[in-house]
Structure 1
Amino acid sequence: MDDSQLLSAFQELAREQQPKVAPPRHRAIFDACHVGVVLRAVVFVEAVMAVGAMFGAESLVQWVQRTAVLSAAALPGALGWLVVTCSCKWLLARLPAMAQQGFGVALGTVCGLYGCGILALVTGPGQVSWVGSAFAGALLSSVMVAALVLRAKGRMPAETTARLAELQARIRPHFLFNSLNSAIALVREDPAKAETLLEDLSELFRHALVSKEESATLTEEVQVARHYLAIEQVRFGDRLRVEWSIDPRAGSARVPALFLQPLVENAVKHGVEPSPSGADVKVTTQRRGSVVVIKVTNTVPAGQGRRGHGVAQENVRDRLRLLHDVQAQFQTALIDGLYQVRMEVPA
């Protein structure tokens, strides 16, 4: 399937059995290890310094100069706070929530004093307030910790909703009945093929029902998509023409668990089902430097256009953003009878 035109258009719910008595389990309540978090933190600190520089500035030139001096003092401390909290993430996860927040604020206080030391070298010891700088660092770090905690809390219901939607998509009655009917029809005609279909169905349900972490490797997700398309291949026969272009170098990329199957399901539902002649479906993965590109492309019948409510795509888009923030890209395009979902994630 040639998707060169499309390329130009882009420029578990089941819980594991737990012991009756389990010790309390701590986890990291905030995570600063994201490029988007770093960018927002830097912009936030710069904005605060710019506003602070307005006090006492008698002209625009003086304001710019004061902003530059304050930024030079504050940014090293802010970046140091981000580096330390990111590096100690796994150690902080062992502490209670209050201790993690206290560590973040205490570290901010130290960074505020560090920035004050830099400022003292520029303006002189008598021109700085050590106590004020310490409290300013504590306040800024408190805001950062609160924002990151809210971000982490917002992630939990989104993950739960995503798992519910995906689980329902995988065990829809008509899909299950069609798969079982196909297996029954093959039992006498081709027992080996019926056995293979049931194995694919078993693997698909195992991935859908077994509780997973929030992310998986791309290799695992491609395997789930293969099981699904193998089942649908029995149902549609020659009407479903599948092509795989998988780059082994991209297999280690981290992606949301159970994110690829809904996209290939959409390709079958909107490409193959409504077309008497069927459709072509192509799944492509490719590593390009530090980025992995994932594409799901399918032909659509003439006049069909975009259909559906886009729930599955919104689900995948939200989960990609939660996992990789600004490093994730999600785009769709429909050009000349080819529909493509194109994603980018860090390698």
Structure 2
Amino acid sequence: MQNFFVPDLCRVRSVFMLLITSELLVLVLAIVQASDSWIDWNYFALLSLFVQWTTLTSAALICLLRARLAQMPVPRATFFIAAIVLIDVLAFSLFADSVLHPKPGIFDWQAIAKKLLMALLIILMILRYFYLQHQWQKQREAEMQAHLTALQARIQPHFLFNSMNTIASLIASDPEQAEEAVLDLSELFRASLRTGDQLIPMSKELDLCQRYLAIESLRLGPRLKLEWHIADGLEHQAIPPLTLQPLVENAVYHGIQPRPEGGKVRIEAEARGKYVYLLVQNPKPDNNSSQHSGNQMALGNIQARLQALFGDAAVLKHSHQGDVYTVTLRLPETTQYS
């Protein structure tokens, strides 16, 4: 029912906004009706009571029938919703006339017809507004998904050729380890090509990091030292795919590979309050412009994806203190069930 263009009127927020809108309309009509003052308060009170009754009962009926209405084509759903509102307005109009004009069988049919016509015009305008808002939201979601897919598709591990050379050298001396490296490499590229998932569990992202580091350990040997500090209970934390792995890749490519003596990559993850913090530390990179620009591009890609998915709740920062370069990522604490 998420594809239904009418908001869920079973929710308090939707009904409240509908009541506020209808009350503003009543206020405008009361101002127009007044001749000797700014507002005809008697007219405002009676019309407000009538409009609120019809709004609440119509919203309740549409809420109850929402599942069936959502299965209909837009024109048919529009017809049935308009019919529900008009029948509701007619019923309350007849009731109001019987109370205000107690003579049995006497109704002001002209006034009732005016109310029905006004109700029809208003409900058609509201439904048109809902439909346009729904179409705009669908277009916005499609554009965001295309944007995320394009950003994720650009994150391609640039260690392919080094990894293939490492695997080739292992085929003769250690075929089992070469096979493991091929499996790790294929899993990394499978993740980079799988652009349909907006969020994955943290455990999957950590597994990708471990596979990447296993390949790099074959190439760099003792030059690559690792330190892991992952707090318990974060396995199902939601994270965009290929978010932490590129940060680890940058740490190796910019902080470890250029140094003859190598260095240590430190990876931390912990929950504090309503947020989860991820930290990647490595020796401070040198001032090589091409490496620096590549690092900034990767950070920019990740920041854009986080902004599109979480807004200001997600933060990506990088800093250096002494000879240590640190990237810190803050995510809202969210559980990924799938």
The alignment partner of 2:185 has SS state of helix
Question: 1:203-253, CA deviations, whole angstroms, 9 ceiling, x for partnerless residues?
Answer: 2323443574x556x34x6325412442134316644434444638x74x8
Find out whether 1:342 has 2:331 as its counterpart.
Answer: yes
Give the 3 Å change call, closer, same or farther, for CA 48–268 of structure 1 in structure 2: farther
Contact 1:109 1:137 in 2 (8 A): yes
Q: Which residue of 2 aligns with 1:11?
A: none
Counting only pairs closer than 5 Å after superposition, residues 86-125 of structure 1 correspond to structure 2 as: 87=67, 92=71, 99=73, 101-110=74-83, 112-113=85-86, 116=89, 120=93
Contact 1:159 1:319 in 2 (8 A): no
Q: CA deviation at 1:137?
A: 2.0
Q: CA deviation at 1:60?
A: 7.6
Counting only pairs closer than 5 Å after superposition, residues 321-332 of structure 1 correspond to structure 2 as: 329-332=313-316
The alignment partner of 2:227 has SS state of strand
2:27 alignment partner AA? A
2:213 alignment partner AA? E
Larger radius of gyration: 2
Q: CA deviation at 1:117?
A: 6.5
Select the residue among 104, 110, 124 that pairs with 1:138.
124
Residues in 2 aligned to 1:196 and 1:181: alpha-carbon distance in whole angstroms: 14
Select the residue among 270, 274, 291 that pairs with 2:255.
274
Question: 1:54-82, CA deviations, whole angstroms, 9 ceiling, x for partnerless residues?
Answer: 22245689499689644564356457646
Question: 1:41-60, CA deviations, whole angstroms, 9 ceiling, x for partnerless residues?
Answer: 85366335414422224568
Question: 1:267-313, CA deviations, whole angstroms, 9 ceiling, x for partnerless residues?
Answer: 54268733663332234589x9xx9x654332366799x95562222
Select the residue among 278, 288, 298 that pairs with 2:280.
298
2:154 alignment partner AA? Q
Counting only pairs closer than 5 Å after superposition, residues 16-31 of structure 1 correspond to structure 2 as: 30=4
Select the residue among 127, 139, 151 that pairs with 1:165.
151
What TM-score comes out, normalization by structure 2 length? 0.62
Residues in 1 aligned to 2:284 and 2:94: alpha-carbon distance in whole angstroms: 71
Residues in 1 aligned to 2:126 and 2:174: alpha-carbon distance in whole angstroms: 68
Give the 3 Å change call, closer, same or farther, for CA 32–120 of structure 1 in structure 2: closer
Q: Which residue of 2 aligns with 1:206?
A: 190
Residues in 1 aligned to 2:226 and 2:48: alpha-carbon distance in whole angstroms: 62
The alignment partner of 2:255 has SS state of coil
Q: Which residue of 1 aligns with 2:246?
A: 265
Select the residue among 311, 318, 322 that pairs with 2:301.
311
Residues in 2 aligned to 1:41 and 1:333: alpha-carbon distance in whole angstroms: 41
Give the 3 Å change call, closer, same or farther, for CA 139–307 of structure 1 in structure 2: same
Aligned length: 292
Percent sequence identity over aligned pairs: 11
Contact 1:262 1:312 in 2 (8 A): yes
Q: Which residue of 1 aligns with 2:108?
A: none
Extract unaligned runs of 5+ from structure 1.
1-26, 322-327
Residues in 1 aligned to 2:278 and 2:65: alpha-carbon distance in whole angstroms: 39
Residues in 2 aligned to 1:239 and 1:83: alpha-carbon distance in whole angstroms: 61
Q: CA deviation at 1:199?
A: 0.8
Residues in 2 aligned to 1:332 and 1:118: alpha-carbon distance in whole angstroms: 58
Q: CA deviation at 1:152?
A: 0.9
Give the 3 Å change call, closer, same or farther, for CA 234–303 of structure 1 in structure 2: closer
The alignment partner of 1:297 has SS state of strand
The alignment partner of 2:243 has SS state of helix
Residues in 2 aligned to 1:118 and 1:184: alpha-carbon distance in whole angstroms: 82
- Give the CA RMSD over aligned residues: 4.8
The alignment partner of 1:310 has SS state of helix
